[in-house]
Amino acid sequence: MIRVFRLRPLLLLSFALLLGACGGGNVKPTATAATPVAPVRVAPVKVGIALGGGAAKGFAHIGVIKMLEANGIQPVVVSGTSAGSVVGALYASGMDAFQMQKVAFALDEDKIRDVSLFSGGVIKGQKLQDYVNELVAQRKLEAMKRPLAVVATRLEDGKRTVFVRGNTGQAVRASSSIPGVFEAVKIGDSTYVDGGVVSPVPVDAARELGADFVIAVDISSKADGKAPGSLLGNINQSITIMGQKLGALELQRADIVLRPKVLDIGAADFAQKNTAILEGERAALAAMPRIKAKIAQLQQARLAAAREKVRVQAVQDAARAQAECEARQGTVDKLLRREDCTALAR
């Protein structure tokens, strides 16, 4: 009995120390003090660029990219339709805007035009395919330095098809195959034509590649009550009219829409490539304050959300720690009451 009696003070002392860790004595623990939170970092906003179709107007895309790069904005994913897929492929392969401009100025139309009057189109498109593959060093879509999506229209059912793997030149050829001008392109078991029929400016394709912020470049012709005046112009405008409603809805899902003033450039007017590039530069430069502000706003919103997530987690951790502490204190209180009763009994 003597040994047991001497052990009780030691047990009480141990529980008292445990109680002290929760706040001491029989005082109920108060709210835990704010826990210091480590600095929160979030990944930079992933900018994507969606390059629309528009035949020779497509040189404007180079000017847009030039101004983005000059202002420190580097799109990390690229999507393209028709002419936009050509520029998109070059950019995704690792070329900068000045390298693309050099390619544009050196372009000989004979390198991309292979006439065929008896095969369902004026132009076969094989030369365009080979030319693009040569410029991208034969890289396949999945091997590009920037993720690239090329949009075409499946002829059998009119569905949008997004190419992200396979032969780059072939995908670009399919995306650029204006019905009645280019031969339709057979890939696998399906046949494809110009992507502008279903997705004139491929905003959704850029989102699907993981873009947080999409800059859309719309160079499509708008029906103004006048006939374009050429076969290619007529066909190009017909495709534009067909895709306008779908395109308008898709453009609403972009964060920024740029419209370079290239409506006066004909679909086959490659001689005005310099004018198109300059108009692309002007459009991007005019929108630059909005682009920067929106990207900064999105980055701040993501940072605030990340901080709130950390704060909530810290509060939950503190509440859990306090609950555990109170549970331990309740156990100590019960033991103390039992000791008191034992002492009274003696």
Do 335 and 248 belong together in one domain? no
Do 147 and 90 belong together in one domain? yes
Compute the average pLDDT of residues 303-311: 83
**pTM for the complete prediction?**
0.80
Do 118 and 256 belong together in one domain? yes
In 3D, which of 77, 79, 76, 80 has the Cα closest to residue 54? 80
Do 327 and 275 belong together in one domain? no
Residue 319 lies in a domain: yes
Residue 7 lies in a domain: no
Residue 32 lies in a domain: no
Residue 21 lies in a domain: no
Arithmetic mean of pLDDT over the chain: 84
Do 238 and 336 belong together in one domain? no
Do 115 and 209 belong together in one domain? yes
Report residue 236 CA to chain centroid gap. Answer: 28
**Lowest-pLDDT choice from 5-19, 104-118, 189-203, 313-327:** 5-19
Residue 143 lies in a domain: yes
Q: Categorize the per-residue pLDDT at 207 as very low, low, confident or very high, splitting at 50, 70 and 90.
A: very high
Do 331 and 252 belong together in one domain? no
Do 121 and 206 belong together in one domain? yes
Q: Categorize the per-residue pLDDT at 346 as very low, low, confident or very high, splitting at 50, 70 and 90.
A: very low
Do 209 and 322 belong together in one domain? no
CA distance 75 to 217: 13
**Which residues make beta-bridge pairs with 80?**
51, 150
| pLDDT tens digit sequence for 26-40 | 444 444 455 555 678
Residue 15 lies in a domain: no
Residues whose CB falls within 8 Å of the CB of residue 148, separated by 6 or more in sequence, listed in order: 77, 78, 79, 80, 88, 89, 92, 141, 164, 168, 209
Residues assigned a catalytic role: 82, 194
In 3D, which of 58, 125, 65, 68 has the Cα closest to residue 93? 65
Residue 193 lies in a domain: yes
Q: Which domain holds residue 258?
A: 47-222+232-301
**Lowest-pLDDT choice from 26-30, 89-93, 178-182, 318-322:** 26-30
Residue 202 lies in a domain: yes
Do 121 and 256 belong together in one domain? yes
Do 271 and 338 belong together in one domain? no
Do 202 and 327 belong together in one domain? no
Amino acid in the structure at residue 284: A
What is the pLDDT at residue 342?
Answer: 41
CATH of the domain at 207: 3.40.1090.10
* Total tally of structural domains belonging to the chain: 2
